[in-house]
Amino acid sequence: MLQQRLVEIAPDDVPQQLAEVLRSFCASSPEVEKGYVCKVDETGLDGVNRERLLFCVKLVVPVAEPGDAADVCTSLTGRFSSRHPDLMRQVGFGTLADRAVQAWERYGVCLYSIDALG
């Protein structure tokens, strides 16, 4: 079973070019309220431990249950995958349930916030 644990990350740990691309994707997606990058300590099915970056977004619509906003999630995932296939393999793409946002705010780096646009 794949196991993941969030690891604290500093803003300088996110490559600037990566941050700009992810920020731009969020800004062009009206469904996205915030975009985060977090470092994850991951133990794969092979038992090997790795650290990698993950990209997740908080949606404008509330996501309390797994089925909430399923169409929006599918649409965003498809758009990200088609625009940035290499990044999809590198950092992935996920949408955060409301209950997960606090952990990503604590451990991750917020690259985009609709609030910051004023």
| 59 within a domain of the structure (yes/no) | yes
Model pTM score:
0.91
pLDDT in tens, 28-55: 999 999 999 999 998 888 888 999 999 9
Task: Classify strands 94-95 and 49-59 as parallel, antiparallel or unpaired.
Answer: parallel
> Which residues span the domain enclosing 22?
11-36+54-109
pLDDT in tens, 51-100: 999 999 999 998 988 788 899 999 999 999 999 999 999 999 999 999 99
Number of domains in the chain: 1
Q: What is the DSSP string of the chain?
A: --EEEEE---GGGS-HHHHHHHHHHHHT-TTEEEEEEEEEEEE-TTS-EEEEEEEEEEESS---STTTTHHHHHHHHHHHHHH-HHHHHHH--EE--HHHHHHHHHHSEEEEEGGGG-
| 46 within a domain of the structure (yes/no) | no
| 116 within a domain of the structure (yes/no) | no
Q: Tokens in use for 74? A: 């599918």
Q: Tokens in use for 48? A: 């090997």
